[in-house]
Structure 1
Amino acid sequence: MATFQYSFQKIVDLKNSEKMQAEWLLSSALNTLTEEEQSLQQLHIVKREWEERLHRASQNAIPLSELQLIGQYLDYLDSCIANKQKDVQQAERHVSQQRDFLTDRMKDEKIWMKAKDHALSRFRQAMQLKEQNELDELATARFMVSTP
């Protein structure tokens, strides 16, 4: 019995490889997004701590220069947070692009897998037809031999 050999198997393998690469790229983009979000969250925590220090310092008698220094540091933290929010947005856009890219790769792979399945189906039908013809020939030959 003949075995099925798909003539475009290398393309199917390539599409599968491209899909796997797109999955890795998406995973990497998601990791980057997670890191950026954690960094932003950490900046917010630091800012809250310094705001509490400022509040406590304003209730106590401390030099005005220290209050100004804390205020300047809070301004610096605000600019860091704004920059980090831009980084998070950029990472989100990158994740979205990688998702779209993965979707395209998955569609390509699915198209080629369907083409392979159709070719396999046609191959099986041809093999069944060939087998049926051989059985018919055997039956005919037996009938001819048994009839005197």
Structure 2
Amino acid sequence: MGAFRYSYQKIVDLKTSEKTQAEWILSSSIGELQAAELTVEQLRESREEWEQKQHQSSQSGVSLAELQTIQQYVDYLDSCIEAKLLEVKRAQKVVEQNRIKLSDKMQDEKVWLKAKDNEKERFRYAMQLKEQNELDEMATVRFMVSVP
């Protein structure tokens, strides 16, 4: 009896490889999104600290020039936050696109694995049928030999 060999195994391997690559790409894009979100949080915390410094400085009688410098830095942090938020939105879109691609690759792989399983079942059935025919033939030969 021969072993099962799927004629399209290289395609199945390719589809599995493509799915794995899509998983890596998704993982990488999620990492970039998380990094961007973390940076936004750090910028917001820094902005809060500088806002508190500005509030404390205005109450303690600091010069107008210092207050303006602090305000300019707070404004700069605001623009950095806005830019990072745009980056977060772009990263979210990339993550969503990569999720869709991964889903497509998973479906594609599943189709090929299902085709392979179906082919394996047909092979197994054909082997069982062949075995049964051989056993039936052996039984027939024995019967014919035993009949006088």
Tell me how large the CA RMSD over aligned residues is: 0.5
1:65-119 CA-partner distances (Å, limit 9, x unpaired):
1111111111111010000000001001000000000000000000000000000
Give per-residue Cα distances to partners, 1:5-41, cap 9 Å, x unaligned.
Answer: 1000000000000000000000100110111011111
Name the counterpart of 1:8.
8
Any residues of structure 2 matched to 1:1-148 within 5 Å, and which? 1-148=1-148
Give the Cα–Cα distance (whole angstroms) in 1 for the partners of residues 58 and 131 of structure 2: 94
Report the identity percentage: 57
List gaps (5 residues or longer) in structure 1: none
What stretches of structure 2 of length at least 5 have no aligned partner? Answer: none
Would you say how many aligned residue pairs link Structure 1 and Structure 2? Answer: 148
Letter of the 2:107 counterpart: K
Amino acid at match of 1:77: L
Hey, what's the Cα distance between the residues in 2 that align with 1:72 and 1:14?
Answer: 55
Q: CA deviation at 1:146?
A: 0.6
CA displacement at 1:3 relative to structure 2? 0.4
Give the TM-score taking structure 2 as reference length. 0.99
User: Which contiguous aligned blocks of 4+ residues in structure 1 show a shift greater than 6 angstroms?
Assistant: none
Write the distance in 2 (CA, Å) between the matches of 1:25 and 1:40. Answer: 23
Structure 2 distance, partners of 1:32, 1:127, is 52
Q: CA deviation at 1:60?
A: 0.6
Q: Distance in 2 between matches of 1:62 and 1:131?
A: 97
| Cα distance in 2, alignment partners of residues 57 and 33 from structure 1 | 36
